[in-house]
Amino acid sequence: MKEQVTDYVLESLSSIKNKLTGRDDAFEAMMMAPKEEIVDLKGELTIYKAPLGNGVFFEAPKPNVDVPKPKEFRGTRSTDVRRGETGIGTYEEFQKEFKA
């Protein structure tokens, strides 16, 4: 009977050891993926830092576009009375138009 208990305990310990070894291998594999990614990212960072260290910046040239300037407002705007539009030249005339 004592030998059966001893065998059972040894088998249980062996089974637990195998499970833990499998989990350890899985955990190690999970940890290697981020480590490899870190190594890749450090390599990319080195590639991007190289031009900056040499003082070289990759900038696109800014386009030089001529935009026409609006004409200065002189206080009056003309409208076509034939189309039913009214002409209001200044703010005072605007106020008089609505007070009337």
Whether 34 is in a domain gets the answer yes
Does residue 68 carry a pLDDT above 70? yes
pTM here is 0.34
What distance lies between CA 80 and its chain's CA centroid? 52
Q: Is residue 8 part of a domain?
A: yes
53, pLDDT greater than 60? yes
Contact between 90 and 75 under an 8 Å Cβ cutoff? The reply is yes
Inside any domain, residue 70: no
**Does 98 reside within a domain?**
no
The reply to whether 82 falls in a domain is no
pLDDT at 88: 56
Domain membership flag for residue 68: no
Q: How many structural domains comprise the chain?
A: 1
User: Where is mean pLDDT largest: 22-31, 57-66, 85-94?
Assistant: 22-31
Cα 89 versus chain centre, distance: 50
Tell me whether residue 76 is in a domain: no
